[in-house]
Amino acid sequence: MAVKIRLARRGRKKAAQFDIVVADARAPRDGRFIEKIGTYDPNTNPASINFDGEKAFDWIMKGAQPTDTVRAMLSYRGVLYRKHLQLGVIKGAISQDVADERFTAWKEQKDSKIEGKRTSLGSAKDEAKKAALAAETKVKEARAEAIRKKNTPVAEPVAATEAAEGETTEAAASADTTEEAGA
């Protein structure tokens, strides 16, 4: 019997969530499975991958074949690296203590990298909020200024229009005098 570690879909339309399951390769995607070892939610940023690493490691060592997507998840969480180190221990290339030491060092480095990504995403989100708030404040101040200008009485333009009217009457009077002189 070929055993696969694969994803089983659940969740509503366009909001998929997946269970990471160990199943017979002949079983349907969302059908019968041997054991559920975790969950995967691609809708969060970064994607939420929660599974029991010990169970996954045991199934990998027994010969279960992960699908491409699950293989990427297992690699991301270090299960495949741990398998690699364990095969070295079985062959006698390294001792168990050295393998455990290498794995813990890799795990600490990977966890710090993941945490760095989470904090950078959080800080980028905060920066975007601050920029949006600043832009909104700028627009609000511009609107307030426009309303203030609209509501204040305008004294200078009235004086300017009266002066303009006086000039037009003088120009009309001078035009009348030139017509009379020419006739």
pLDDT tens-digit map of 52-79: 989 999 999 999 999 999 999 999 888 9
**Residue 131 C-alpha from the chain's centroid:** 17
From residue 84, give the alpha-carbon distance in Å to each of 88, 116, 126: 7, 26, 40
Percent of the chain's residues with pLDDT above 90: 35
Output 171 or 50, whichever has higher pLDDT. Answer: 50
Among residues 25, 126, 95, the alpha carbon closest in space to that of 66 is found at 25
Check: pTM over 0.85? Answer yes or no: no
3-state helix, strand, coil in the chain (%, to 5): 65, 15, 20
Residue 46: asked if its preceding bond is cis (omega within 30°), the reply is yes
Q: What is the pLDDT of residue 170?
A: 59
Domains in the chain, please, with CATH?
3-80 (3.30.1320.10)
Q: What is the pLDDT of residue 31?
A: 82
129-142 per-position pLDDT tens digit: 889 888 899 999 98
Res 127 pLDDT > 70: yes
Q: What is the pLDDT of residue 47?
A: 84
Residues 6+ apart with CB under 8 A from 4: 22, 23, 24, 25, 64, 65, 66, 67
Q: What is the pLDDT of residue 104?
A: 92
d(CA 94, CA 86): 9
Percent of the chain's residues with pLDDT above 70: 83
Q: Grade residue 183 by pLDDT with cuts at 50, 70 and 90.
A: low
| Phi (first) and psi of residue 11, to 5 degrees | 95, 165
From residue 58, give the alpha-carbon distance in Å to each of 5, 52, 79, 120, 159: 12, 10, 10, 34, 92
Q: Grade residue 1 by pLDDT with cuts at 50, 70 and 90.
A: low
Asked if 16 and 7 touch (Cβ cutoff 8 Å), the reply is no
Q: What is the pLDDT of residue 117?
A: 83
Q: What is the pLDDT of residue 155?
A: 61
36-51 per-position pLDDT tens digit: 999 999 998 778 889 8
Res 114 pLDDT > 90: no
Q: What is the pLDDT of residue 59?
A: 93
